[in-house]
Amino acid sequence: MESVTRINRIAPPGCWRKGIIVLLAGLFCHIFPAFSALAVDAGRLIEKDGQYVFVENMDPAKREEFKKRLESMTPEQREEFRKRRQEKAAQ
């Protein structure tokens, strides 16, 4: 019984519950970060006609690799790729 009272003197019972809640909240935020904020790192916002437009910055080497892969695709694969890209952009 004495060990329980020592623990209660160090940290009251309500303190443990709050600590666990804070720990779980921190773990949740670490596992599920704000993915929308990550998109800003891949481009920049430019003001155009009074509205902000997102412009993607792509490395020139990656752009060339992307073009080569598009050229190596068959027309059916290229069309399927374009459809998927448009659907993703619409979301």
Q: What is the pLDDT of residue 39?
A: 47
**Residue 52: its pLDDT value, please?**
86
- Residue recorded with tokens 């790729």: 81
pLDDT tens-digit map of 49-78: 888 887 777 778 888 888 888 888 888 888
Residues near 42 by beta carbon (within 8 Å), at least 6 away in sequence:
56, 57
16: left (phi over 0), alpha (psi -120 to 50) or beta: alpha
pTM: 0.32
Predicted confidence (pLDDT) per residue in 32-50, tens digit: 766 555 544 567 788 888 8
Domain ranges of the chain: 2-31, 42-90
